[in-house]
């Protein structure tokens, strides 16, 4: 993937430091092997050699830590970059592409694939280091051997005790990070489930990205860096302290007259040490293969292209071209045709469909299930791109240069709506609670939820209550055109009547244009016009409006 290649190039200094210090650590490995073997074979030691030994050990510890930390930092930064790019690209992607191609795949990639890519790439510098160590170690092991097992075991247990306490801390950090992973998944699920609302509401899109997506990703980035720092320290100590263990064995062995210090000691030292890099390579096979598979899956999402990084940085989430929300008079779908094809090759054709919506009117669309009502709404909102015909505002065609501004006219509650937790006004700022109290009471939600600094305490409500809460959100946004897809379907009879007889007339008196999908023929009299959708076409309804509505 070009994004990863670019990150590798941008971090080439860190990667060079990682590999270089890794090679240096391998050199110290071999040097310590030779030094210890020389001491064992000679049977003599002196203060200067001890200083050389411990100096080499410290150099090994430092060089190994730097190498592995640089690799871990690169991988963690890459995850942050991929997540941020994925979030940004998702925010600006066409809803149609999200619905057909992405959806839950993005959440799955975020939850699994990106982390696996990080884990796999982080192993590569370490693999090269261990291969070098094994090659040199095996060559030298050909004519060396054995060890002092009792002294070695005591020293090893002392060494492992430090690793154990470090591992306890590491497990806690991993648990915290895993819990935060659920928040990341929920955030990206909100991007998917709320894609329609975000696609037509630029203010909420900006707020959601700045106040929920970015903070969530930055917190994960910080937690992952801290966790990898601890893991790196534990792994460095676990690998390097083996030399301290073996050094202890050698120094004790020299002064034990009943113990042979010849080839047996050298062999045990080398064989024990080489178990670590060999085990590392064997354990790396699965994550490296998984990394390659995750790269392939992420590439199939077609989100990361050759110019993604630059395009993402340059792309604005808002449009500089706006539709005048106060002066428009008509919105018209003219001979719109839309062809929908699913992944299995089946689908349907909608249209040609035409409808003119006048500012300030109440319009109802009726029709059976599968007739095409929701698809017409998505075409009207600009979520689907028409294959023929077009959308016109006061006779001006809406195209890619002004569709973002056009979408800004609308607020919608879809049949599969998503509830955001923050209540925003028309400028996408937090709405103070005191401004909502009357609406909360009217919607019978005042004893169901709390609002703290514009954030809703819970969305775990009944379907009817959730829809009333969604209505509160679009009240606050104060958009020109309100689209309600079978809003009243989940309300009890008394509140359904209140909705049609009180709320809709009030919204109309406020100058709002209301487009509803409804089957409640009993209340069709509140509409200025009623249309029927059948087999993807819009036609006059058989419902007869009162004369006062006709003339």
Omega before 352 cis (within 30°)? yes
pLDDT of residue 471: 92
Give the residue-averaged pLDDT of 18-35: 80
Q: Is residue 497 predicted with pLDDT exceeding 90?
A: yes
Per the DSSP assignment, residues forming a β-bridge with 483 are: 412, 515
Lowest-confidence pick of 107-116, 253-262, 370-379? 253-262
Q: Is residue 259 predicted with pLDDT exceeding 60?
A: no
Q: Is residue 318 predicted with pLDDT exceeding 80?
A: no
- Structure token digits, residue 292: 């390659």
Distance, in Å, from the CA atom of 70 to the CA atom of 232, rounded to the nearest integer, reads 10
Are residues 64 and 25 in contact, defined by beta-carbon separation less than 8 angstroms? yes
185 conformational bin, left if phi > 0, alpha if psi -120 to 50, beta if neither: alpha
pLDDT of residue 313: 43
Are residues 146 and 268 in contact, defined by beta-carbon separation less than 8 angstroms? yes
Q: Is residue 310 predicted with pLDDT exceeding 50?
A: no
Distance, in Å, from the CA atom of 199 to the CA atom of 97, rounded to the nearest integer, reads 12
Where residue 315 falls among pLDDT bands split at 50, 70, 90? very low
Distance, in Å, from the CA atom of 217 to the CA atom of 228, rounded to the nearest integer, reads 16
Per the DSSP assignment, residues forming a β-bridge with 334 are: 390
CB atoms within 10 A of CB 550: 9
Task: Select from 381, 384, 363, 393 the least CA-distant residue to 528.
Answer: 363
pLDDT of residue 302: 60
DSSP class per residue in 69-102? HHHHHHHHHHHHHHHHHHHHHHHHS-HHHIIIII
Lowest-confidence pick of 271-280, 308-317, 431-440, 490-499? 308-317
Q: Is residue 323 predicted with pLDDT exceeding 60?
A: no
Residues in the chain: 551
> Which of the two residues, 227 and 106, has the higher pLDDT score?
227
pLDDT of residue 260: 58
Distance, in Å, from the CA atom of 538 to the CA atom of 267, rounded to the nearest integer, reads 86
pLDDT of residue 278: 63
Distance, in Å, from the CA atom of 440 to the CA atom of 92, rounded to the nearest integer, reads 33
Average pLDDT of the residues of the chain: 77
Lowest-confidence pick of 152-156, 397-401, 476-480, 506-510? 152-156
Per the DSSP assignment, residues forming a β-bridge with 523 are: none
Task: Select from 102, 197, 202 the least CA-distant residue to 403.
Answer: 202
Task: Select from 473, 380, 469, 471 the least CA-distant residue to 426.
Answer: 473
pLDDT digits (tens, 9 = 90+) for 125-182: 777 777 777 777 667 655 554 445 556 556 656 776 776 676 667 656 655 664 566 5
Q: Is residue 71 predicted with pLDDT exceeding 50?
A: yes
- The percent of residues in the chain predicted with pLDDT above 70, rounded, is 69
Distance, in Å, from the CA atom of 84 to the CA atom of 308, rounded to the nearest integer, reads 12
Where residue 549 falls among pLDDT bands split at 50, 70, 90? low
pLDDT of residue 311: 42
Distance, in Å, from the CA atom of 101 to the CA atom of 410, rounded to the nearest integer, reads 25
Where residue 235 falls among pLDDT bands split at 50, 70, 90? low
Give the residue-averaged pLDDT of 73-86: 78
pLDDT digits (tens, 9 = 90+) for 374-421: 888 888 888 888 888 889 988 888 887 667 778 888 999 988 888 888
Distance, in Å, from the CA atom of 338 to the CA atom of 103, rounded to the nearest integer, reads 21
Where residue 515 falls among pLDDT bands split at 50, 70, 90? very high
Lowest-confidence pick of 61-75, 209-223, 300-314? 300-314
Q: What are phi and psi of 457, to 5 degrees?
A: -65, -35
Q: Where are the beta strands (DSSP E) in 64-112?
A: none
Give the residue-averaged pLDDT of 477-494: 91
- Structure token digits, residue 537: 């076409």
Are residues 254 and 261 in contact, defined by beta-carbon separation less than 8 angstroms? yes
pLDDT of residue 494: 92
Give the residue-averaged pLDDT of 6-29: 81
Q: Is residue 483 predicted with pLDDT exceeding 90?
A: yes
pLDDT digits (tens, 9 = 90+) for 38-50: 776 666 666 678 7
146-179 core/surface letters (b: 16 or more CB in 10 A; e: else)? bbbeebbeebbeebeeebeebbeebeebeeebee
Task: Select from 515, 517, 463, 472 the least CA-distant residue to 492.
Answer: 463
pLDDT of residue 473: 92
Are residues 37 and 144 in contact, defined by beta-carbon separation less than 8 angstroms? yes
């Amino acid at each position: 993937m070009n994004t990863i290649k670019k990150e590798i190039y941008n971090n080439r200094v860190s990667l060079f430091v990682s590999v270089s210090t890794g090679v240096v650590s391998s050199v110290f490995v071999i040097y310590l092997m030779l030094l210890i073997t020389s001491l064992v074979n000679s049977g003599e030691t002196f203060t200067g050699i001890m200083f050389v030994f411990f100096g080499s050990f410290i150099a090994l510890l430092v060089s190994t830590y730097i190498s592995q930390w640089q690799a871990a930092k690169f991988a963690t930064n890459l995850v942050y970059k991929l997540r941020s790019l994925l979030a940004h690209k998702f925010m600006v992607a066409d809803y149609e592409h999200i619905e057909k191609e992405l959806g839950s795949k993005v959440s799955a990639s975020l939850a699994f694939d990106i982390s696996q890519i990080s884990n796999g790439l982080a192993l590569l510098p370490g693999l090269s280091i261990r291969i070098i160590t094994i090659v040199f170690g095996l060559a030298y092991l050909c004519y060396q051997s054995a060890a002092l097992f009792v002294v070695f075991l005591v020293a090893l247990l002392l060494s492992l005790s430090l690793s154990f306490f470090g591992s306890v801390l590491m497990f806690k950090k991993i648990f915290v990070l895993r819990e935060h992973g659920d928040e990341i998944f929920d955030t990206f699920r909100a991007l998917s489930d709320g894609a329609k609302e975000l696609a037509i509401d630029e203010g909420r899109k900006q707020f959601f990205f700045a106040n929920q997506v970015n903070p969530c990703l930055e917190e994960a980035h910080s937690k992952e860096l801290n966790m990898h720092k601890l893991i790196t320290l534990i792994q460095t100590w676990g690998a390097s302290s083996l030399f301290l263990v073996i050094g202890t064995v050698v120094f004790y062995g020299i002064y034990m007259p009943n113990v042979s210090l010849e080839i047996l000691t050298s062999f045990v030292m080398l064989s024990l040490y080489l178990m670590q890099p060999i085990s590392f390579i064997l354990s790396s096979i699965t994550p490296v293969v998984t990394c390659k598979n995750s790269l392939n899956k992420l590439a199939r999402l077609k989100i990361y292209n050759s110019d993604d990084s630059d395009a993402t940085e340059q792309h604005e989430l808002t449009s500089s071209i706006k539709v005048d929300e106060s002066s428009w008079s008509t919105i018209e779908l003219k001979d719109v045709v839309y062809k929908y094809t699913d992944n299995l090759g089946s689908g349907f054709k909608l249209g040609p469909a035409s409808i003119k919506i006048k500012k300030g009117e109440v319009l109802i669309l009726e029709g059976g299930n599968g007739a095409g009502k929701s698809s017409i709404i998505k075409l009207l909102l600009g979520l689907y791109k028409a294959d023929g015909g077009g959308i016109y505002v006061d006779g001006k065609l809406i195209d890619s240069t002004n569709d973002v501004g056009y979408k800004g006219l609308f607020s919608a509650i879809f049949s599969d709506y998503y509830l955001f937790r923050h209540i925003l006004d028309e400028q996408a700022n937090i709405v103070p609670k005191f401004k909502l109290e009357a609406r909360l009471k009217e919607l019978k939600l005042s004893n169901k939820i709390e609002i703290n600094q514009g954030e809703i305490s819970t969305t775990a409500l009944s379907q009817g209550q959730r829809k009333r809460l969604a209505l509160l959100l679009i009240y606050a946004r104060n958009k020109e055109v309100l689209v309600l897809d079978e809003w009243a379907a989940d309300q009890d009879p008394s509140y359904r009547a209140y909705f049609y007889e009180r709320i809709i007339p009030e919204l109309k008196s406020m100058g709002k244009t209301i487009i509803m999908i409804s089957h409640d023929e009993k209340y069709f009299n509140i509409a200025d016009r009623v249309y029927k959708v059948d087999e993807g076409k819009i036609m006059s309804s058989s419902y007869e409006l009162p004369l006062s509505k006709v003339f």
